[in-house]
Amino acid sequence: MSFVITDAEDITPEWLTEVLRRNCVLESGEVSQIRSILSRTLQVSRVIRLAMDYSSDSPKTAPASLFLKLSRSDTDPLVNDLSEVEFYQKVAVRTVGPIVRCYDSAFSDKTNSSHLLLEDLSGTHIQPKDGQLPSASECEAAVMSLAELHSQWWEHPEVGTKIGSFFDKDWLEKFLSDLERSIAAFLSYLCYDISADERQIYERLLLSSRKIWGRLTDPAGLTVTNGDLHWWNFLYPKYPTRDRIRIIDWQLWHIDLGARDLAFLIALGGFAKERHAAELDLLRLYHRTLLANGVKNYEWNSFWNDYRFSAIRNLNMPVIFWSQGKHETTWKNAMHRAFQSFDELSCIELLDA
């Protein structure tokens, strides 16, 4: 496509007809009318649900509605609007499994704007209520779907070259320098609102930062990750026997440890009000699913340590949230969760090793 959609009015029946034909879902007939039936402005995007009417000679299987996602690059400086477009153009098209179908995508470097025209799953899938964990079976299905996706790109020969990029030594040095400054500013801001033990843990994290984040310069065991995974980044099927979970929101995808996605989702809590009580069971399920899907030479102990190191990395999340100006409740909850999992997972042993 030659332009980036900025509003639903940009989409004409003629253009959408061509898109659907290109995607082999409209072999005959044409789109006759397009209606916006829902519009919502979210934190980093604007979403519009489109309903379509077709000519009488169109197949009944043509999609009745689509989901249009428009960028909002004026909000979060960490969000790269090109990144999600690249994910759907380079990764999703070659991934079998829990990905929402994308019919069209584009990015403009002149306006730093983008659009995604996605399959509309609102009739077949749901999300949990705000703050509430999904059911036990839904959590298990989510973790399994994540492992299936991770396994497809696990140490793939194109990972780090054609698909994403590896973290090199230059990146590591800059990151560690920035990390030291940002944590120092955060601790200075907190002053006496942090315990001496917690302050000491941050200091020890900095002393061990090269070991913690240096793991990312080793390509062994790296894969495509979501980068911002929480329980609301999964769409859960209303009828699990008919459909499967899908993973959405790939603005922050990158190459990392698969355990990093899990640590954000489970150790940090995935923005649920309660951390998952079945953490170890979910981790074992994830690891078994990796092995069942062809991942080799990744024993439980290696995964367990990767997960614990990733949980240590969660201590940087409240720092990031604070520096972004997020609400105090958001970064304080993240800090509480990060220290809670740090203790429960005995992460101090890794800093002492």
- What are the Cα distances from residue 106, in Å, to 5, 92, 113, 120, 231? 8, 14, 8, 18, 27
What confidence score (pLDDT) does residue 80 get?
61
Domains and CATH numbers, the chain: 8-119 (3.30.200.20), 127-352 (3.90.1200.10)
For helices 136-152 and 279-292, angle between their N-to-C axes, nearest 10 degrees: 40
- pLDDT tens, the chain, 353 aa long: 468 999 999 999 999 999 999 999 999 999 999 999 999 998 778 999 999 999 999 999 999 999 999 987 665 555 567 899 999 999 999 999 999 999 999 999 888 889 999 999 999 999 999 999 999 999 999 999 999 999 999 999 999 999 999 999 999 999 999 999 999 999 999 998 999 999 999 999 999 999 999 999 999 999 999 999 999 999 999 999 999 999 999 999 999 999 999 999 999 999 999 889 999 999 999 999 999 999 999 999 999 999 999 999 999 999 999 999 999 999 999 999 999 999 999 999 999 76
Distance CA 296, CA 279 (A): 23
* Tokens representing residue 57 in the block: 């000679």
Cβ pair 106, 71 in contact under 8 A: no
CA dihedral over 332, 129, 50, 91, signed as positive or negative: positive
Enclosing H/E stretch for 116: strand 113-119
Cβ pair 223, 159 in contact under 8 A: yes
Number of H helices, E strands in the chain: 12, 10
Distance CA 181, CA 19 (A): 48
Please name which of 316, 326, 132 lies closest in space to residue 231, comparing C-alpha atoms.
Answer: 132
pLDDT single digits (tens) 245-304 = 999 999 999 999 999 999 999 999 999 998 899 999 999 999 999 999 999 999 999 999
- How many CA atoms lie within 13 Å of 199's alpha carbon, on the beta-carbon side? 13
Distance CA 72, CA 93 (A): 24
What confidence score (pLDDT) does residue 45 get?
87
